[in-house]
């Protein structure tokens, strides 16, 4: 109940069992037996299904007569079942289920969130994984961008220092990968979209990587919604320009990018493409499961292949992303190193316009 270890003393560390055998339905039917009036037959009251291992304090709590209605038979059985399920989940995990956790924590116009270790562990466990703590020895690798100056409104130095900070910190991750200490990566990130695109470009192609989103339902949880609908995406030509060497892409995923609000530099010479939902309108919750994110990645790669064929020798692409966090990371992660063009990533400004934030390449 209190998550206290019962095989040793918490003060001395001595290997002394402090657990007590507690009955859900009291072992007798006498009036003083906690929950003893239940219909459970007497010969089943000492069976495993009716027993809990508790510390002394919690044993006293559940057996206190004034709390029998609070800790009734149904409540205690539910607690026992949930605890045993959690233990089975943990002990069923094997070495291949281990993952290295990468946390990128920044601010978005002054607002920030946290991804504490217990929250991270819960999200991983729900996905059949556990953290290996290979980085920094005692904790996951964390890139903290919250102290960078010039975030709101974002300055050129903010973008450049943020990108360099991410690149510098991820050198440790790549070193671990090179020594084969990292076999799987789990990403928990909250930062401005251009920086997340830069993060995606720094991730190693050779290591399986999973991205965990911050849930938008008001709780502190991270992770995908298993019952969410899966969406697909498509790209289309918005405008055929006069110069094949000039290309811009609008990512209308969490919201719609209005072509009229693009900077004047993206003029009629530009070929303009849009990537968005195949069915329905853009919305902030459209990427709510891993399958939808994978569909987004496949469509983005298809568009990159299309650009390679239709715009040979293309050096740069201007991108205008209205996307959720996992999609931003995927935008930076999908291009092939030394093959696809540099991404010129624009950030939406407070007056609903766009300004160039970063150039990102692999």
Identify the pLDDT of residue 180.
67
pLDDT band at residue 227 under the 50/70/90 scheme: confident
**Chain segment 324-360, per-residue pLDDT in tens:** 999 999 999 999 888 899 999 999 988 888 999 999 9
* Mean pLDDT across 163-180: 82
Is pLDDT of 89 > 50?
A: yes
Hey, what long-range contacts does 65-68 have (CB within 8 A, 24 or more apart)?
65/32, 65/34, 68/34, 68/35
Lowest-confidence segment of 197-211, 257-271, 280-294 by average pLDDT: 197-211
Question: Cα-flanking dihedrals φ and ψ of residue 189, to 5°?
Answer: -135, 145
User: Counting Cβ atoms within 10 Å, is residue 315 exposed (0-12), middle (13-18) or buried (19+)?
Assistant: exposed
Q: Which of 255, 145, 140, 142 is nearest to 191 (CA)?
A: 145
Percent of residues, the chain, with pLDDT higher than 90: 61
pTM, 2 dp: 0.77
**Chain segment 174-187, per-residue pLDDT in tens:** 777 766 677 889 99
């Amino acid at each position: 109940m209190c998550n206290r270890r019962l095989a040793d003393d918490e003060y001395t560390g001595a290997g002394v069992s402090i657990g007590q055998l507690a009955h859900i339905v009291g072992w007798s039917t006498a009036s003083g037996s906690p929950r003893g009036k239940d219909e459970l037959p007497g010969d089943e009251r000492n069976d495993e299904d009716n027993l809990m291992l508790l510390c002394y304090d919690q044993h006293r709590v559940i057996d206190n007569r004034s709390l029998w209605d609070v800790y009734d038979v149904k409540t205690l059985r539910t607690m026992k079942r949930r605890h045993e399920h959690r233990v089975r989940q943990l002990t069923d995990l094997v070495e291949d289920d281990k993952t290295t956790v990468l946390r990128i924590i920044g601010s978005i116009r002054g607002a920030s969130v946290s991804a504490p270790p217990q929250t991270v562990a819960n999200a991983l466990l729900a996905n059949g994984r556990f953290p290996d703590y290979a980085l920094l020895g005692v904790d996951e690798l964390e890139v903290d961008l919250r102290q960078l100056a010039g975030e709101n409104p974002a300055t050129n130095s903010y973008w450049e220092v943020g990108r360099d900070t991410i690149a510098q910190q991820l050198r440790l991750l790549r070193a671990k990968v090179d020594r084969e200490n990292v076999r799987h990566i789990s990403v928990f990130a909250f930062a401005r979209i251009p920086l997340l695109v830069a993060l995606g470009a720094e991730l190693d192609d050779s290591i399986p990587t999973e991205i965990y989103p911050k849930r938008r339902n008001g709780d502190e949880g991270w992770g995908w919604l298993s019952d969410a609908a899966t969406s697909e995406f498509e790209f289309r030509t918005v405008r055929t320009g006069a110069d094949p060497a000039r290309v811009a892409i609008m990512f209308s995923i969490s919201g719609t990018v209005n072509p009229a609000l693009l900077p004047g530099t993206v003029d009629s010479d530009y070929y303009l493409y849009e990537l968005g939902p195949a069915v329905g309108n853009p919305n902030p919750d459209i990427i709510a499961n891993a399958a939808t994110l994978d569909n987004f990645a496949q469509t983005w790669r298809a568009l990159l292949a299309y650009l390679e064929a239709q715009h040979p020798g293309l050096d740069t692409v201007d991108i205008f992303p209205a996307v959720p966090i996992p999609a931003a990371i995927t935008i930076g992660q999908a291009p092939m190193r030394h093959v696809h063009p540099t991404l010129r990533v624009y950030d939406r400004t407070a007056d609903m316009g766009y300004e160039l934030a970063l150039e990102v390449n692999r």
